[in-house]
């Protein structure tokens, strides 16, 4: 009985820890789970699914991907856990209703995923948080803004930031300032990046892109450039982020001594003392020393968010009248095409017939339908969707 009580106590503590993490930030917890599962299901999982929980690594240092895959298959949604009913601890039951079906090993894995050294907090209004970064002025105006507008923005905050001492990064930033830049990455890489940081992988097997401007971590001050390097991946089944998501990281870069960022084609500023590791090339920023990088925000782009965001509701309201108008015009166009094809079929059937008068009437009908078709084609070509502000 004592052993059973101890086991129940361990299970209860795991469930309560998971519940607290999900209640604190459902979206942040969802992102951590999603990033781990994307790495786990990648064909590159031997390299991108790192770090990996030690209790799923055997004595031969082999990662037990099968057990991990079986465990994540039963994970409930983070919002379900956050809103779940809590029970009093007993001998044979769990304390969190939505977690009672999970095995102890699955609970250990879920708890390991959610034990992140930073807080991931959902940004309710990214426009106010960093308008100049997400919505730069451009010739495309509101159209470009709607494309660059992420579905979710999560802020990366250190736990107990005010209680620790000043880091080397903060000391350099205080002395020389910092800049903000974007980094686009493949979805399967996010798990390792969140756990280990953005590292300089130049001239290693993990380097995925070229090094046109030399070794280092590549970022851009232009979000649209970073988006071209952001490759989407399938999310996990119960994620609120969406069925397919991609990520862009907004990072802060501490300037080293003598570093000057400019828009010149090549601006190489590398100090001899090794403290400088930042170079700019147009909108590109190359950082050789990863210690000068800090991830501040994670921008999540989703094809279909599974939560009723205000922005999603606005997009539905804007698109609905446009779709109705388009459907009406397409219905008329379809009717004309059907009549046109019918005329051609009848004309072909009666071709060579002795009734010249009937043949002439059908030819006139064909000519009239052909003129109507050309007019509708010009009408549809000149008809453009009115621009709408999605903010």
Contact 187, 231 (CB under 8 A): yes
In Å, the largest CA–CA distance within the chain is 104
Q: What is the pLDDT of residue 362?
A: 59
- Encode pLDDT of 303-328 as tens digits: 865 543 333 333 333 333 334 444 45
391 lies in some domain: no
What is the pLDDT confidence band of residue 207, given thresholds at 50, 70 and 90?
A: very low
Handedness of CA 278, 279, 280, 284 (dihedral sign): negative
User: Average pLDDT for residues 25-54, to the nearest whole number?
Assistant: 93
Q: What is the pLDDT of residue 338?
A: 67
Total tally of structural domains belonging to the chain: 3
User: Average pLDDT for residues 94-102, to the nearest whole number?
Assistant: 84
Last residue of a domain, one of 64, 91, 114: 114
Last residue of a domain, one of 306, 338, 354: 306
34 lies in some domain: yes
Kindly state whether residues 177 and 263 are assigned to the same domain. Answer: yes
β partners of residue 184? 248
Last residue of a domain, one of 63, 89, 114: 114
Kindly state whether residues 136 and 253 are assigned to the same domain. Answer: yes
- Encode pLDDT of 124-165 as tens digits: 887 777 766 555 544 444 545 556 788 899 999 877 655 555
| Contacts for 314 with CB less than 8 Å, ≥ 6 apart | 390
Q: List Cα–Cα distances, 287 to 200, 252, 276, 278, 329, in angstroms.
A: 8, 11, 9, 5, 53
Contact 246, 299 (CB under 8 A): no
Kindly state whether residues 293 and 215 are assigned to the same domain. Answer: yes
In the chain, alpha helices (H): 2-24, 26-40, 45-48, 65-72, 78-82, 104-114, 126-134, 142-148, 168-176, 190-196, 223-227, 310-349, 356-382
Helix (H) or strand (E) holding 181: strand 178-185
Tell which residue, 233, 231, 244, 391, has the closest CA to residue 306. 244
- Encode pLDDT of 342-376 as tens digits: 766 666 665 555 455 555 655 666 666 666 665 66
Cβ atoms within 10 Å, residue 55: 11
266 lies in some domain: yes
Tell which residue, 96, 90, 71, 74, has the closest CA to residue 20. 96
What is the pLDDT confidence band of residue 43, given thresholds at 50, 70 and 90?
A: very high
Contact 205, 47 (CB under 8 A): yes
Query: Is the preceding omega at residue 51 within 30 degrees of 0, hence cis?
Result: yes
Kindly state whether residues 159 and 302 are assigned to the same domain. Answer: yes
389 lies in some domain: no
Return the CA Rg of the chain: 29
Kindly state whether residues 152 and 270 are assigned to the same domain. Answer: yes
Q: What is the pLDDT of residue 267?
A: 34
317 lies in some domain: yes
Q: What is the pLDDT of residue 61?
A: 84
Kindly state whether residues 236 and 177 are assigned to the same domain. Answer: yes
Scanning the structure block, which residue is given the tokens 């450039």?
Answer: 225
Tell which residue, 149, 121, 124, has the closest CA to residue 136. 149
Range of the domain at 161: 119-306
Asked if pLDDT for residue 263 goes beyond 80, the answer is no
Helix (H) or strand (E) holding 214: none
From CA 71, how far away is CA 50, in angstroms rounded?
17
Kindly state whether residues 86 and 132 are assigned to the same domain. Answer: no
């Amino acid at each position: 009985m004592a052993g059973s009580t101890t086991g129940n106590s361990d299970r209860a503590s795991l469930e309560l820890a998971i519940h607290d993490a999900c209640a604190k930030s459902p979206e942040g917890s969802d992102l951590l789970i999603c990033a781990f599962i994307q790495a786990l299901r990648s064909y590159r999982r031997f390299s991108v699914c790192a770090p990996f929980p030690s209790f799923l690594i055997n004595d031969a240092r082999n990662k037990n991907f099968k057990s991990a895959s079986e465990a994540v298959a039963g994970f409930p949604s983070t919002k379900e856990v956050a809103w779940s009913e809590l029970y009093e601890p007993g001998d044979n039951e769990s304390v969190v209703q939505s977690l009672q079906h999970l095995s102890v090993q699955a609970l250990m894995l879920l708890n390991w995923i959610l034990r992140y050294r930073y807080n991931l907090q959902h940004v309710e209004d990214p426009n106010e948080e960093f308008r100049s970064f997400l919505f730069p002025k451009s010739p495309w105006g509101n159209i470009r803004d709607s494309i660059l507008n992420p579905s979710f923005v999560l802020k990366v905050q250190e736990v107990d930031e005010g209680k620790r001492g000043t880091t080397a990064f903060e000391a350099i930033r205080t002395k020389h300032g910092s800049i903000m830049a974007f980094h686009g990455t493949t979805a399967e890489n996010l798990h390792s990046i969140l756990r280990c940081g953005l590292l300089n992988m130049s001239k290693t097997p993990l380097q995925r892109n070229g090094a046109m401007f030399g070794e280092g971590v590549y970022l851009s001050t232009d979000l649209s450039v970073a988006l071209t390097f952001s490759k989407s991946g399938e999310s996990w089944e119960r994620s609120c982020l969406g069925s397919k998501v991609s990520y862009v990281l907004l990072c802060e870069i501490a300037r080293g001594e003598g570093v000057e960022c400019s828009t010149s084609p090549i601006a190489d500023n590398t100090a001899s003392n090794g403290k400088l590791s930042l170079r700019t090339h147009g909108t590109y920023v190359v950082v050789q020393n990863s210690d000068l990088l800090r991830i501040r925000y994670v921008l999540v782009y989703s094809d279909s968010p599974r939560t009723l965001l205000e922005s999603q509701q606005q997009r539905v309201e804007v698109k609905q009248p446009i779709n109705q108008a388009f459907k009406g015009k397409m219905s008329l166009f379809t009717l004309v095409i059907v009549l046109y094809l019918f005329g051609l079929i009848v004309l072909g059937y009666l071709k060579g017939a002795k009734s010249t008068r009937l043949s002439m009437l059908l030819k006139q009908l064909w000519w009239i339908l052909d003129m109507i078709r050309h007019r509708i084609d010009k009408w549809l070509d000149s008809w453009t969707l009115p621009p709408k502000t999605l903010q």
